[in-house]
Structure 1
Amino acid sequence: MTNTVYINGRAIGPQHPPYIIAELSANHNGSLANALLSLEVFKSCGADAVKIQSYTADTMTIDCDRPEFKIQGGLWDGYTLYELYKEAHTPFEWHQALFDKAAELELTLFSSPFDESAVDLLESLNAPAYKVASFEATDLPLIAYIAKTGKPLIISTGMASLEEIEEAVSCAKNNGCRELVLLHCISAYPAPVEQANLATIQDLAKRFGCVVGLSDHSLGNIVATTAVSLGAALIEKHVTLDRNQPGPDSAFSLEPHELKELCNQTKLAWQAVGQIDYSRKKSEEANLQFRRSIYFVKEMRAGEKINKKHIRRIRPGLGLEPKFYEQLLGREVVQDIKPGMACAWNLLKPIDS
């Protein structure tokens, strides 16, 4: 696996600014006009890509009201699975218009396909990459089908055990995937900050030798920004035009001004991490003069020997370094000294004279 992935020519990896994906999901609220406007707005906020979800209620589940098909608790309490996906899906017939709009905006658009028919649709639209959602991370036949396209593949790991992640990665590799991103993810909506366990990001990178990132469902931007400081090269967040609009994902989605903050904050976090560097920075140069150094604080006559009352380690830093303090004691000065003069070797009688 490579530590750099390219989507539409944009390099994604630890040596590059974080790649920000605005997840539209169901936040179009059933309106193609909303979906198209979202592409414009998210692009203007600085997102590198927008991601949609490609499924229908019938490709996700069956229309059944048995207890196991009903959602209990959480944001979608009371829905059957079929009802939820029927309300939340992005119709296949919208996809062409969305991809055309993205091309017009010079915006990267790709999707999470949830079955092979969705992959086929996305291939016909020349989707530049694919995302496997956490809930499908154990669907190895789907991962294999996507991997065979040869496109970059992003896999979310929410709910997955280490063994299941290993199986998904092996499946992707064995079916032709050469550009893989693993996203640490907590599949809760919203996800509690105290359960984020962002240290897992570094472990994923070490174990699998691939680009890693975060699919973040927590409220706000603190988790995502912190993740970048721990090596996340890609951040995915749900975004909505207006959190007050009704919709299955609105409550845990960012609004445009928050997306803009996310783009700015994560870039700053990446810049702050930088690289291992012990050299003096250019921005520090002007402050060198305010270090401590050794100064004369009493008058002295030429030939007089220095004792502790004559010198002190004080600011500014234009005299000899404090580490020479003990060496100066007992040395003769070769000229008259005034208080406030910086100690310098040329003011002292050489030791071998």
Structure 2
Amino acid sequence: MENYLDQIKNISLKSGKNKIAVIGKGDSIKDINLKQLDDFFIINLNDSEKIIPGDIAMFYRTELFDQIRENGFKAAKYLAPSFFKIPDNQHIEVKHLVSGQDSFEYTYEYFQDPEFFLEDFIILSAIKFSILHQQAVAGNVEVYFIGFDFHSAQVNPDDNQMYDLEYKNVILKTQESFFTSILESFTEVYPNIKLSHVGEKSYSALSAVGFNNLVTQLQSKFTDKKGVTNSEMYAALLHRAMTTNHVIIVAEFTNNHISDPKRIVKMIELAKEAGADIVKFQKRDVDAFYTDDELSKPYKSPFGKQLGDYRRGVELNEQMFALIDAECRKKEIPWFASALDWNSYNFLRQFDTPLIKLPSTISNHKNYLLNVGNDFKGDLVISTGFTDSSYEDFVLNSFAGNRTLFLLQCTSSYPTPPEACQIAVVRHYGQLRAKQYANMLPGYSSHDVGSLGCMLAVASGAKMIEKHVKLGDLDWIHFDGVAIDLYNNRFKDFVHDVRKAELMCGSENKVIHLQEHHKYVPNAKSN
């Protein structure tokens, strides 16, 4: 069974969200449009789930438990002491340790403590969770504190406390002083986490109106047709991969969409929810790519009895690619495609295609590859299945110029047995990058079963992982056996494994990690 720290980090890792909303119960929260928070990781403090249920709720006070139970345990998970009777699948048992609120220095000791426990001033626990969240998602994180007024005009009868109003406001004032001190110094210690108070205080980063406008702008950026483009989403993803240890995970749809618009929309939705960074399709001119003899070969599918029936049936047309582009922009995930012939390459150019793949299937068509490389000004993904080091030389000499080139180790075997994965080649590509080809990023196109090969590829330096996905079993589809199902969280589990490998690998810069501590510290006499 996972321990509580692993559970906490896995929740953050699976969410993949870089914006956190910490929810309090101050009157100012009434001015926030809570319907806009879909893209935020929501932390409930105490019983604020009654306002909006979150991804994580934290509480330790026994008088709050009845309120939360009566509300129906609406939060997804609860960080709470073990003696509370919370449903097991929602309960992550953590300790509450009584502590004073008079030591600012102690606060950073708490943030850096390798253990997680609930503080008396529970907003500190939300900040510590944010630190763990940032470590898990491995990117910049923004944390917004909503509904924290640090003042009460009346005692809330739901609180069920024997404290008068004056006493309550003294406590709140003390907590506010603590909180503002943290705001002043936090970024110096944790530069990848931005804490922002939402309200009308002198230290507030945003008013309620300003926060609502900010979230509206973020949403409209990805939904307005005149807003973000596929190129812009890809550029942001590439920047993240180039400046952090983030590995780009590609959900390769191959033909598993069967050119069904409803299926395409669902697959994009599930790939995004699972944590994929980008989705990939294929385009080929069926009648030009195959000979007549090949197209007339027997092949049983819902489209007919010949290979040509199958290939034409699953091929994506202009309307399907227009749907893909619109749906990916709506879901805020970029897309790209393999171009298997010149007609398909020209077809794809009508769309916003900042990235094109030249797959292993056409590695022997070097004239075509060179023509695409000379004509296309965007970035390339090239996989190396069924090739040797001479193809590597050809690719690097021909395409590793002023563009970004993803060079993916690949074995054209379906499924690929362990001894054929050749993952050490990924490390070799990384060494080539370090020596000469700065614009080349190593990667791994996986045809092996499960996630271990991809985790090892990450440890070998892969910056792109490509994995086939499907929507249920379709044994008449090519390569169905190597694809991971988007249903039943199987692809989500795969993404989690890759992100865990990414997290464990960390940065190449050797530093003293926050989790490190020495049991014995040498004294001055021993130096």
TM-score normalised by length of structure 2: 0.49
Alpha-carbon separation, structure 2, partners of 1:14 and 1:319:
37
Is the 1:131–1:155 Cα contact (8 Å) retained in structure 2? yes
Matched, 1:232 2:497: no
Is the 2:258–2:315 Cα contact (8 Å) retained in structure 1? no
Matched, 1:19 2:251: no
1:188 aligned residue:
413
Instruction: Look up the SS of the partner of 2:378 in the other structure.
Output: coil
1:132 aligned residue:
358
Alpha-carbon separation, structure 2, partners of 1:124 and 1:230:
37
Matched, 1:160 2:160: no
1:62 aligned residue:
291
1:91 aligned residue:
317
Alpha-carbon separation, structure 2, partners of 1:188 and 1:177:
32
Residues 7-60 of structure 1: CA deviation (Å, up to 9, x unaligned): 332123484311000001110134222112211111111111100001132132
Residues 289-315 of structure 1: CA deviation (Å, up to 9, x unaligned): 3xxxxxxxxxxxxxxxxxxxxxxxxxx
Letter matched to residue 259 of structure 1? F
1:120 aligned residue:
346
Gaps of 5+ in 1: 1-5, 73-78, 290-316, 325-344, 346-353
Is the 2:259–2:320 Cα contact (8 Å) retained in structure 1? no
Is the 1:60–1:85 Cα contact (8 Å) retained in structure 2? no
2:449 aligned residue:
219
Alpha-carbon separation, structure 2, partners of 1:80 and 1:159:
27
Is the 1:157–1:183 Cα contact (8 Å) retained in structure 2? yes
Residues 299-353 of structure 1: CA deviation (Å, up to 9, x unaligned): xxxxxxxxxxxxxxxxxx47879x97xxxxxxxxxxxxxxxxxxxx9xxxxxxxx
Instruction: Look up the SS of the partner of 1:8 in the other structure.
Output: helix
Alpha-carbon separation, structure 2, partners of 1:181 and 1:111:
14
Residues 95-130 of structure 1: CA deviation (Å, up to 9, x unaligned): 112112112222101100111221222111111200
2:261 aligned residue:
32
Alpha-carbon separation, structure 1, partners of 2:264 and 2:338:
16
Alpha-carbon separation, structure 2, partners of 1:278 and 1:91:
50
Is the 1:21–1:237 Cα contact (8 Å) retained in structure 2? yes
Instruction: Look up the SS of the partner of 1:146 in the other structure.
Output: helix
Q: 1:225 offset after TM fit, Å?
A: 1.1
Instruction: Look up the SS of the partner of 2:335 in the other structure.
Output: strand
2:273 aligned residue:
44
Aligned partner of 1:270 among 502, 514, 523: 502
Matched, 1:255 2:489: no
Alpha-carbon separation, structure 2, partners of 1:196 and 1:265:
18
Measured at CA, do residues 170 and 228 of structure 1 come closer, stay the same or move farther in structure 2, by a change above 3 Å?
Answer: same
Measured at CA, do residues 250 and 280 of structure 1 come closer, stay the same or move farther in structure 2, by a change above 3 Å?
Answer: same
Stretch moving more, 109-118 or 228-237: 109-118
Aligned partner of 1:144 among 367, 370, 388: 370
Q: 1:62 offset after TM fit, Å?
A: 1.9
Q: 1:268 offset after TM fit, Å?
A: 2.0
1:9 aligned residue:
236
Measured at CA, do residues 279 and 102 of structure 1 come closer, stay the same or move farther in structure 2, by a change above 3 Å?
Answer: closer
Is the 2:407–2:429 Cα contact (8 Å) retained in structure 1? yes
Letter matched to residue 143 of structure 1? L
Gaps of 5+ in 2: 1-232, 300-304
Alpha-carbon separation, structure 2, partners of 1:150 and 1:266:
31
Query: Which structure is larger by alpha-carbon Rg, 1 or 2?
Result: 1
Residues 147-178 of structure 1: CA deviation (Å, up to 9, x unaligned): 222111000000012112222332324xx662
Q: 1:219 offset after TM fit, Å?
A: 1.2
Letter matched to residue 361 of structure 2? F
Instruction: Considering Cα pairs closer than 8 Å and 6+ residues apart, tell me whether 1 or 2 has the greater RCO.
Output: 1
Letter matched to residue 320 of structure 2? W
Is the 1:216–1:237 Cα contact (8 Å) retained in structure 2? yes
Alpha-carbon separation, structure 1, partners of 2:404 and 2:511:
35
1:350 aligned residue:
none
Instruction: Look up the SS of the partner of 1:184 in the other structure.
Output: strand
Measured at CA, do residues 178 and 230 of structure 1 come closer, stay the same or move farther in structure 2, by a change above 3 Å?
Answer: same
TM-score normalised by length of structure 1: 0.71
What number of residue pairs does the alignment pair up?
Answer: 280
Is the 1:26–1:88 Cα contact (8 Å) retained in structure 2? yes
Note the aligned Cα RMSD (angstroms).
3.0
The structure where helix makes up a greater share of residues is: 2
Instruction: Look up the SS of the partner of 2:515 in the other structure.
Output: helix
Stretch moving more, 153-162 or 102-111: 102-111
Q: 1:283 offset after TM fit, Å?
A: 1.9
Give the % identical residues. 22
Alpha-carbon separation, structure 2, partners of 1:106 and 1:280:
36
Letter matched to residue 482 of structure 2? F
Letter matched to residue 415 of structure 2? P
Q: 1:230 offset after TM fit, Å?
A: 0.6
Instruction: Look up the SS of the partner of 1:283 in the other structure.
Output: coil
Alpha-carbon separation, structure 1, partners of 2:511 and 2:352:
47
Letter matched to residue 396 of structure 2? V
Instruction: Look up the SS of the partner of 1:281 in the other structure.
Output: coil
